Structure 1
Amino acid sequence: MSKIIRVLIVDDSAYVRKVVRQMLSRSPFIEVVGTAHDGKDALEQIEKLKPDVVTLDLIMPEMEGVEFLKQQMAKHPIPVVVVSIADEGGERVLAALDAGAVDFVQKPTALATDKMYDISDELIEKVKAAAHVPLNRLPVQSPSSVIVPEKPTVSPPVISQALEMIVIGISTGGPQALAYAIPQLPADFPLPIAVVLHMPIGYTKMYAERLNGLSALEVIEAAEGDVVRPGRVMIAPAGRHLTFIRHVDGQVLAHLEARPFDMLHRPSVDVLFQSAAEVYGPHLLGVVMTGMGSDGKQGCAWIKSHGGVVYTEDESSCVVYGMPRSVVEAGLSDRRISLQYLPSTLINLALSGV
C-alpha cells in the first residue's frame, strides 16, 4: 500500500477527536487531514480537504451522523467508517449502513478515558480497507425496492447430494449484502440458512429483527436450542459461536458457546462451517461473501472434506474481497458468483432437489 490515506475525523467530543487522531497516526499509511465537530461542519470540511475516508460519530448536535451521510452520499459518495456506541446508537448504526457507511467500530466507552485506545488496531484496519472500497458496491437503496435479477445463464456445478442446509459467512459490507439477498428468497424456500456476520455485541439481535421485517423468511438471532428448520434464517449472536447438534430423532438444534477462545472472531465462520459439515456432510452448501481477512477458509476445507459444496462471492460485487479471496486462492471454491445472482442461484439449487 503506497498511497497515503487522507482521513477526516468527525466527532462532537474534542477528546475523541484527539484520541482518534493519535490512533490513526500510528499507521504510516494514514494522514489525518482535519476534524469536524458535527455533520454540518463535516460537509464543509470535505469540500475543502477532499479526504479519502471519513470516521463518523452518529450522535452530534447541529447535524447528526445519519443526516450527514444522506446529504454527503447524495452529493458525492465517500467511504465512511462509523465510530459509535451500541447502547446509545444501535438503530442509528443500522440506519447509517443503509445510508452508505462502509463499516463501523464500536466505541468501548462514552467517557473520556484511555479505554478508547482499545479500538486502535481495528479502527486502523477498517479505515485502510474503506479507502479501497468501490462505493458503487454499497447498495444504499431500500432493499424492498430491489428488482429480482434474471437467473444466471451459467448453470451451477452439479451437486451430487440433495442440499439440507446453507451456511453463510460474511463481514464488511455484510449488512447491506444480506439485506439485498435474503428478502428475495420466497416464503416457501425449502432450506434452513445459518449466518455468521461479524458485528459487535449489541447489534446482531437488532439487525436480525430488521431483516426479518424485510423478508418473507423468518430471520432470528440464534438462541440455545433453536430448531433448525426450512424457511428460517439464523444469525449467530455476537459474542458466541454457533454450532449444531443432531438428535437421534434427526432434529438439528442450535448450540451456542464461547469456546474456542483462540479465534480472531466470535462468532467465527470457521466454527460454524466445521460444525455444519460434521452434521450435514455432503448435503451442505457453504457461501463465503464480502469481508476482510480469511475467516471461513478453514471452515470451507472442512465442508469440502465432508463432501459439501462451497460458493464464494465474486470480486466484482464484494465491498472487500478478503474472505472470498482466501477461499479461492486455497482452491476451495466450486463457483464464484456475484451478489446480483446469488438469490436466484440459491432458489434454483434449493428447488431443483439436486
Structure 2
Amino acid sequence: MTAPSPIRVLVVDDSAFARKVLRQVLSNAEGLEVVGTARDGLDALEKVAELAPHVLTLDLVMPGLDGLGVLRALASMPGAPRAVVVSSAGEESELAVSALQAGAVELVNKPTALATDRLYELGGALVEAVRTAARAVPHPAPDVPVAAGVPGPVSGLTPGRKLVVVGTSTGGPQALTRLLSALPADFPAPLALALHIPIGYTQAVAKRLNAQCALEVLEAEDGVELRPGRVVLARAGQHLKVERHGTVGLARLDRHPLQMPHHPSVDVLFQSAARVWGADTVGVVLTGMGEDGKAGAQAIRDAGGTVLTETEASCVVYGMPRAVDEAGLATATAPLEDMVPLLLHHLA
C-alpha cells in the first residue's frame, strides 16, 4: 500500500531563530515535510510559486509585506496554500484576529515573543494546526466593512423569548463575521458563542465583531446580562454557561468540568442552555474540527429545542457539523449564506 504524500509546509518568519525552531519541530513530525523557509512576505510569495506548499506557517509582523499582505495576495491565487498564523497574544492579538478573518485557517500562540528555547513549547499545537489546515477547504474571506449594512427590521417575533447558542472552531472567526454581520439590529434573541481559540484572543475577536455588525458584541464576563441585541463571546480558557432568574438571563464563567478537551466547550454551553431555556433554545453548529457540540446538540433536542448546522459546502472543516448531522440531531441545515433566514424562521 502506497504511503500518503507528506504535507508540504513553508515556514514564514522574519526571525532566523524562529525559522530554525519551527522547521525543526515540523520536520520531526510524521507526515510533514518542510519544503522551505521565507524571511518576509515577498520572499514567501516567491517561495509559494516555486515550491507549491500545501500549508504555510505565517508570522504577521514582518518588514516589507506583512502577514496580512500575504493573505490578501494568496486570496487571488488558485490553489493557494492554507495559512496557519503563529502569533503572540497581547499587542498582536487584533492583528491575528484580522488574519483569521482574512482567511487564515488556524492560530497558534507563541509562548514568548523572544528568541528563546521556549518557542519549542508550541510544537504539539503547531503540528496539529498544520494537519488541520491541510484538510481545510478555503473559502473567500468575507468583505465586511466597518458598520456593515444589515437587513431591515424583523417583524412578528417576540423579543427575548428564545436564546441562540453558537459553537464553532476551525474557520470560526470568518464564519462568525459572516453570520453576525448579516443579523439585523433588532434581532429578537440574545446570543451566546463558544469559539475554540487560544487564550488571549477573544477580547480582540469581540472587538472586531462589534465593529462589523449591528449588534453589541462583547467578551463574556461573569454575571453579564444576556439580552436581545447583545452577543456574548466565551472567554478563551473558561467555559461559558447560562442561567436565568425570572426574565433575566445571565452568563457565567468557570473552568468546570476540568476534563473537557476545550475551554470553552460547545457541549457545556449547549447543555446549560438546554437545562434553562429548554424548548426555547436554538443551537447553531458552524465549521470546526472534531465533535464538540454533538453531546450539547443531543441535550438541546432532548429538551425540545432546535439545532441548526452549517452544510459541508460552506465549511472550512466539516467536522463539528458532520458529527451532529450524522447523529441525526440537526433540525435543519444550511450553507452559511442562508443561515440567517433559517435562524429567523426557527425563532418565530
1:19 equivalent among 6, 21, 25: 21
The equivalent residue for 2:266 is 269
The one of 297, 301, 304 aligned to 2:301: 304
Task: Tell whether 2:40 aligns with 1:51.
Answer: no
Return the offset for 1:114.
3.2
Q: Which moved more, 1:24-33 or 1:36-45?
A: 24-33
Q: Does 1:113 align with 2:110?
A: no
Contact (CA 8 Å) 2:57, 2:84: kept in 1 or not? yes
Partners of 2:345 and 2:146 lie apart in 1 by: 21
Unaligned runs of at least 5 residues, structure 1: 150-161
Q: What are the within-5 Å matches in structure 2 for residues 33-182 of structure 1?
A: 33-76=35-78, 77-135=80-138, 137-142=139-144, 164-182=162-180
Aligned CA RMSD, in angstroms, stands at 2.1
State the aligned residue count: 337
Specify the code of the residue in structure 1 equivalent to 2:116.
T
Tell me which amino acid in the other structure corresponds to 1:14. Answer: A
Q: 8 Å contact 2:164–2:284 — kept in the other structure?
A: yes
Match of 2:312 among 305, 312, 315: 315
Offset of residue 78 of structure 1: 2.5
Instruction: Flag the 1:171–1:111 CA change in 2: closer, same or farther, 3 A.
Output: same
Task: Tell me the distance in 2 between the aligned counterparts of 1:131 and 1:233.
Answer: 31
Quote the offset at 1:172 in angstroms. Answer: 0.9
Give runs of aligned pairs for residues 168-317 of structure 1, distance below 5 A. Answer: 168-247=166-245, 249-317=246-314
- The one-letter code sitting in structure 1 at the alignment partner of 2:168 is I
Q: For the Cα contact (< 8 Å) 2:148–2:212, is it kept in 1? A: no
- C-alpha distance in 2, partners of 1:196/1:35? 35
Name the SS for the 1:316 alignment partner.
helix
1:145 to 1:220, Cα distance in 2 relative to 1, 3 A: closer
Distance 2:339 2:54 in 1: 31
CA-to-aligned-CA distance 1:248-281 (integer Å, 9 cap, x gap): x332211111222111111111110111111111
Distance 1:62 1:11 in 2: 12
8 A Cα contact 2:241 2:253, kept in partner: yes
Going from structure 1 to structure 2, the CA distance change for 1:148 and 1:220 (only over 3 Å counts) comes to closer
Q: Distance in 2 between matches of 1:256 and 1:147?
A: 32
Deviations 1:121-144 (A, max 9, x none): 222222112123222x24242356
CA distance in 1, matches of 2:110, 2:241: 29
Q: 1:123 to 1:5 in 2, by over 3 A?
A: same
Give 1:145 deviation, angstroms: 10
* Identical amino acids, percent of aligned pairs: 51
TM-score (norm 2): 0.91
Unaligned runs of 5+ in 2: 152-159
SS of corresponding position for 2:318 = coil
- CA–CA separation in structure 2 for the residues paired with 1:315 and 1:143: 26
The whole-number CA distance in structure 2 between the counterparts of 1:314 and 1:144 is 27
Aligned match of 1:340: 337
The 1-side partners of 2:179 and 2:322 are apart by: 20
AA paired with 2:261? Answer: L
| Whole-angstrom CA distance in 1 between matches of 2:127 and 2:330 | 30
Query: Residue 139 of structure 1 contacts residue 177 of structure 1 at CA under 8 Å; is this kept in 2?
Result: no
Q: Which runs of 4+ in 1 moved over 6 A?
A: 144-149
